[in-house]
Structure 1
Amino acid sequence: MDVTNAVRYWEEWDVLFPTMQKMKAEGNKVPQFCFWSFNGPAITVVQDLYEKVYKAGKYKDLWFYWDGKPLLLYNGTPSVDANGQGIKHPNPNYDPAAKTDPNHPHYGDPDYTEENYLDYTREVKDFFTLRTMWWGYYEWAGKRFIGTEDNWSFGYDLGNDKVAAMNPDDLVSRHLGQKEEAAVTPAQHPSSLVGKSWSREKGEPELNDQDLPVPTLVPWLGKTVEHPEGYGIYFQERWDEALHADPQFLYINDWNEWTAGKYQPGDGKTTHFMRRDSPYFFVDQYNAEFNRCIQPMKGGYTDNYYMQMAQNIRRYKGARPIPELKGKSSIKIDGDFSDWKETDVEYRDTIGDTFHRNHKGYGGLVYVNDSGRNDIVTSKVAVGDSSIYFLAETNAPLTAHTDANWMLLLLDADKDINTGWHGYDYLVNKTVTDDKKTTLMKYDKEQKENPWQKVADLTYRYNGNQMEVEIPRDILALQGTSFSFDFHWCDNPADLVDPISLCVNGDSAPNRRFNYRCIWSE
């Protein structure tokens, strides 16, 4: 939780943390939290957080532990911050009597005798695992900083010649001499002119009249592309370096920093910004090239950075093997569902992600989305002699099959992104005939007006919160004694323009552009 500017968001946390606990109780995986303090009266801020959250034992099941204790990211030299020196840290526990009265329970204890804290309290030092974290400068507070003992970075100052000249492994912070933490960011600050398309070899590309990069070479593609800001050139370079270093901890910065602060020098002066004299500047985010955000955006490069992050986290942490489905089953499509109990491979999705939205944004804008309908939570696959069977289960009883875009099942039978509709070759339930019969459609790119063409009628049933459907194996070309394919459930997308259509409205299982993979052998 970012409190680096000394602002505590108590009202927001009192909503966020109980919501996380509720999600956890529902069976969802949720993150754990720690706090990060730095600027302003950091000692006072930390003491406040310690007393109101940690000492009080609030949200204990959500605390993030590191090295056996709750982690606190802080300013190890609190007399110096990003705004200067001489910061005072008011002590809310100050008691003059503690300095003069020998009978006072805290007599002589500097945690109580000083009107302003001179250091973090003994309680804080004993309770937390402490790490300083700030931008990866070569020097900070008069000392070498980046890559040193217990000094973590939230990004690297690669616009600085000394930092850029360092071996990537030497950027990694140490603890007891061992590599502990590396930072991975999609870019740096706009003022450093290190954007999302910057690379060590080429630097920042030439910018057009909108301060966006001109067509640029993407190294791993080996070709020059339009809108290189969508390809994560800087991001992947940092990932590759971090994966090679393989420290104990990666700090990824940041998820959401979309609020753009525009600043002016004042008095009619200009400042150097974007390779020109400018009457204004932006510090953290400016445009699609100069921001450090990973959160998916509307339009532009959509969720590219999220998918890139997920891919690289898997490379860093590893991933469980895909469960394999073995043997044949005989499923009767009758709406009873009891014959599915013997199928133990289950594909899961987030519970509760059809929650309706109605919330204020900036400038009078209100975000409204009430498209959440059937919350898909689990699904199964079974294979018989001549058919493949699918089961979907929702968190509440299914709505009527007459609803638009109801319980769509997309199939990538050949696991080839270059065939079908963005890889999906078949679609179930685009047209539902009645409560017992639905359709299977195949994508035909030659049919420009109506590319989804019917290839078969299918038998299906739904009852309560479950639905099952049977598809002939020969139609899908999934024959033999073993095969694999990908599939994706969704409900109530507004349209089927591209895979992002599955991410914005209704529900999608699995989330966003991911697929489930069924691996079967006889």
Structure 2
Amino acid sequence: ADQVGPPRPDKVVAMFYFLWQGGRHASLYDISEILADPDRPWGPRGAFHFWGEPALGYYRTEDPYVIRKHAEMLSAAGVDVIVFDVTNGLTYDTVWQALCDEFIRLRGLGWNPPKIAFLAHSHSERVVQHLYEVLYKPGRYRQLWFRWQGKPLVMSSDRGLPDETAAFFTFRESWAWTKPNGWFGDGRHKWPWLDHYPQRFGWSINPDTPEQIAVCAAQHPISAIGRSFHDGKEPPLDARRPEAGWCFAEQWRRAHEVDPAVVFVTGWNEWIAQRFLKEANKAPSQLAGKPLAVGDTYFVDQYDAEFSRDIEPARNLPWDNYYWQLVAEIRRFKGARSLEPIRQAAITVDGRFDDWQAVAPEYRDWRGDPARRDFSGWGNNHYRDTSGRNDIVIAKAARCDQGIAFFAATADALQLPADGRFDDWMVLRLDADDDPTTGPLGCEICVRRRNDTPQAVVEYCRVLTDGIDLETPEGAFAVRSGMTPVERRVLGTVPLGVGERALEVVVPWSYLAAPAAESGDVPNVADRPKRVLFQWSDGIPPEDDWRAYMYSGDAAPLGRFRYVAIRRNDSKP
């Protein structure tokens, strides 16, 4: 809250969400692999090609684990509603039904997944009428409907619809670009999904009161407006930085200036585009800034890491950068709660946990989120992940005379590792020096159980950068993403209290202060860290990279998020 202000509950963030990866697809084509290997053929004309590999693999959208992970990531980011793309006249009924079924199940576990809406364009009257008949009129998934001005929202024109259908919805017509296209008019009841900077806003009652604005990560390869586009131009090839998010940042800057009620972000998970061949005397004339000759291959919406607009993390460039950029921008737009300092408490590490009952604050994680996946993807891919074991749901921290005490509780009885190895069992990772480059994924202290004993080993972990070019995007990303060698040094052992569904540990002050981690000295009160970022994980080896903490086992909190144990600004530890 100190950086972004208090929560603004009247602000809404919508995300363009794509359903067309659903269904079975025997063939798989990846543009990035084809461009890297001249001997690899293109898919047939009209075939869908991935621009790159998603971090979750070449998934089908019906995959329950993918749906669950999307719900978790989007909710954590602060997205309020996902808007399904049905602009091409298809409605993908089996796909959105699978998603809604899983969202309803998650609501039963206490989750708050985003609400849903639809964006129609081609044959919009037929598409909207169909959705009304199969979804809205029967009242299916009513808990998930996103309502605007008291009615379910549909982003479409109301032209040609029966009176009953037209009266049921709040309509906001949507398409790309607000000028010079005539569809936008004066902007009343118009919600664009894409626009050039500086974007124009749609309005409803007063033309001086912004209702909605679009924010995009990029536009199209055939217009050469990529992720690096800013200040009115696309940089030359050697100056492009798709991982830097320049276009996204510029568009968000405009959104913050306008400060509308709704920001509509394009987009989450488009990933694929159809292959076309250039025809004589027909557009387009170029692809990614290069001229097209008759017969050349081109793609309209997605092409490579630069000319794509997915915010969902990719396995390679631009990795997860856009997700965390999204998180930061939504915090600036919607505000955030103030951090509650941890309190002094007399904690005895005995595995009984009575002394934790009154301790606050309480940090929570989603119930039912450990990785359990078994589903087919595109091509011959089948994705299986059984790393989910213990479901961490509550964490706490408290100041005590010896150091900071940490507590974690699970939804069910703790499961011990089947192979007897405790390397990835209920691991506590700490960032006490506030430096994201010191340790893997920013955490320079690792606390894990010492075999099957009531003790935990405390390690100091330092990222090794020898031989890594920190000036390259790949090198800089590797250092802060757990993708480099790590030097580990045991600082000592501490008691570990383990119960049926919880565990506790006290990490001494001498281990928490960065200078002390090197020297072993007990720091003065003034030198003790003012805040410690922490994360519990299970089923994730501590040496794994960013993808594991986002998609494997269970991490509380998710991915690069951290709980914050902040000390009061006083003379006490």
Q: TM-score range by the shorter chain?
A: 0.7 to 0.9
Could you tell me which residue of structure 2 aligns to residue 70 of structure 1? 152
Q: Select the residue among 373, 380, 385 that pairs with 1:364.
A: 380
User: Corresponding residue for 2:312?
Assistant: 295
Aligned to 1:116: none
Equivalent pair of 1:182/1:242 in contact (CA under 8 Å): yes
Q: Distance in 1 between matches of 2:353 and 2:161?
A: 61
Please tell me the residue identity of whatever aligns with 2:560. Answer: R
Shift of the alpha carbon at 1:495?
Answer: 5.5
In the alignment, residue 515 of structure 1 is paired with which amino acid?
R
Does structure 1 conserve the Cα–Cα contact (< 8 Å) formed by 2:458 and 2:490?
A: yes
**Is the contact made by 1:494 and 1:505 (CA closer than 8 Å) also made in structure 2?**
no
Give the secondary structure class of the aligned counterpart of 1:350.
Answer: coil
Equivalent residue in structure 1 for 2:488, among 433, 436, 452: 452
Deviation at 1:144, TM superposition (A): 5.5
Measured at CA, do residues 424 and 187 of structure 1 come closer, stay the same or move farther in structure 2, by a change above 3 Å? same
Partner Cα distance (2:380, 2:211) in 1: 44
Please report how far the alpha carbon of residue 480 of structure 1 lies from its aligned counterpart in structure 2 after TM superposition: 3.0
Kindly provide the amino acid, as one letter, of the partner of residue 129 in structure 2: Q
The AA in structure 1 aligned to 2:243 is: G
Hey, what's the Cα distance between the residues in 2 that align with 1:6 and 1:271? 23
The alpha-carbon deviation at position 254 of structure 1 amounts to 0.8
User: Among 117, 126, 131, which residue is 2:167 paired with?
Assistant: 126
Structure 2, unmatched stretches of 5+, are: 1-83, 467-484, 514-522
Identify if the C-alpha distance between structure 1 residues 417 and 123 changes in structure 2 by more than 3 Å, giving closer, same or farther. Answer: same
Deviation at 1:420, TM superposition (A): 3.3
Structure 2 residue 268 is matched with structure 1 residue 276: no
Residue in structure 2 matched with residue 114 of structure 1 by the alignment: none
**Which amino acid letter does the alignment assign opposite residue 443 of structure 1?**
C
After superposition, the Cα gap between the structure-2 partners of 1:377 and 1:32, relative to the gap in structure 1 and judged at 3 Å, is same
In 2 relative to 1, CA 269–172 (structure 1 residues): closer, same or farther, beyond 3 Å? closer
**CA drift at 1:428:** 0.4
Q: Secondary structure at the match of 1:257?
A: coil
Match of 1:17 in 2: 100
Query: 2:540 corresponds to which letter in structure 1?
Result: P
Contact 1:146 1:172 in 2 (8 A): no
- 1:187 is displaced (CA, Å) by 0.2
Distance 2:121 2:183 in 1: 18
**CA shift at 1:296, angstroms?**
0.6
Question: How far has the Cα of 1:267 moved from its partner?
Answer: 8.4
| Residues 170-229 of structure 1: CA deviation (Å, up to 9, x unaligned) | x1112221211110110001111100001124x11222xxxxxx135xxxxxxxxxxx10
Q: Percent identical across equivalent pairs?
A: 33
- Post-superposition offset of 1:265: 3.8
The answer on whether the counterparts of 1:495 and 1:501 sit within 8 Å (CA) in structure 2 is no
Aligned-residue offset at 1:302? 1.4
1:189 to 214, 217, 220: 220
CA contact (8 A) 2:424 2:538 kept: yes
Contact 1:374 1:491 in 2 (8 A): yes
Q: Confirm or deny that 1:314 pairs with 2:331.
A: yes
- Give the deviation of 1:494 after TM superposition: 4.6
Task: Determine helix, strand or coil for the equivalent of 2:115.
Answer: coil
Q: 1:433 touches 1:439 (CA, 8 Å); kept in 2?
A: no
User: Which of the residues 317, 340, 361 maps onto 1:323?
Assistant: 340
Query: Could you tell me how far apart the structure 2 residues matched to 1:263 and 1:72 are?
Result: 31
**Which residue matches 1:467?**
503
Partner of 1:81: none
What secondary structure, in the 3-state scheme, does the structure 2 residue paired with 1:190 have? coil
Give the aligned partner of residue 511 of structure 1: 558
Q: Deviation digits for residues 342-383 of structure 1, max 9, x if unmatched?
A: 113111122222141122222222222222122211111122
Relative to structure 2, which stretch is displaced further, 187-196 or 124-133?
Answer: 124-133
**Does the 8 Å contact 1:146/1:153 carry over to 2?**
no
Match of 1:175 among 182, 200, 204: 204
Does the aligned pair in 2 maintain the 1:435–1:461 contact within 8 Å? no
CA contact (8 A) 2:440 2:543 kept: no
Aligned partners of 1:146 and 1:152 also within 8 Å:
no
Q: Which has the larger radius of gyration?
A: 1
Judged with a 3 Å threshold, the aligned counterparts in structure 2 of structure 1 residues 17 and 44 are, in CA distance, closer, same or farther, namely same
- Please state whether the residue corresponding to 2:425 is helix, strand or coil: coil
Q: Give the Cα–Cα distance (whole angstroms) in 2 for the partners of residues 450 and 181 of structure 1.
A: 46
Contact 2:86–2:118, Cα closer than 8 Å, also in 1: yes
Q: Could you say which structure has the higher strand fraction? A: 1
In structure 2, relative to structure 1, the CA distance for the partners of 1:361 and 1:147 (3 Å cut) is farther
1:262 counterpart residue number: 275
Residues 34 and 270 of structure 1: CA distance in aligned 2, closer, same or farther (over 3 Å): closer
Change (3 A) 1:12 1:422: closer
Looking at structure 2, the residues matched to 360 and 329 of structure 1 have their Cα atoms a distance apart, in angstroms, of: 50
The residue number in structure 2 matching 1:61 is 143
Give the 5 Å matches for 1:32-431: 32-40=115-123, 42-76=124-158, 119-140=160-181, 143=182, 145=184, 148-156=187-195, 158=196, 168=198, 171-176=200-205, 177=207, 178-201=209-232, 203-207=233-237, 214-216=238-240, 228-265=241-278, 272-274=285-287, 275-278=290-293, 279-326=296-343, 328-400=344-416, 402-403=420-421, 404-429=423-448
Q: Which position in structure 1 is the counterpart of 2:476?
A: none
Give the SS at the match of 1:324. Answer: coil
Cα 1:127–1:264, aligned 2, differ >3 Å: closer, same or farther?
same
Write the letter of the residue equivalent to 2:109: E
**Per the alignment, do residues 420 and 365 of structure 1 end up closer, same or farther by CA in structure 2, a change over 3 Å counting?**
closer
- How big is the shift at 1:235? 0.5
How many residues are matched? 448
TM, length-normalised to structure 2: 0.74
Measured at CA, do residues 422 and 511 of structure 1 come closer, stay the same or move farther in structure 2, by a change above 3 Å? closer
Alignment partner, residue 441 of structure 1: 459
The CA RMSD measured in Å over matched residues stands at 2.4
Worse-superposed segment, 417-426 or 386-395:
417-426
Which one is further off, 251-260 or 342-351? 342-351
TM-score of the superposed pair, with normalisation by structure 1: 0.81
* C-alpha displacement of 1:137: 4.1
Q: Larger relative contact order (C-alpha < 8 A, sep ≥ 6)?
A: 2
Which AA in structure 1 matches 2:490?
A: K
Distance 1:122 1:447 in 2: 66
Amino acid at match of 2:508: P
CA distance in 2, matches of 1:379, 1:497: 22
Point out where structure 1 has 5 or more consecutive residues left out of the alignment.
79-118, 159-163, 208-213, 217-227
Note the C-alpha offset of 1:56: 1.2
Classify 1:441/1:365 alpha carbon distance in 2 versus 1 (closer, same or farther; 3 Å): same
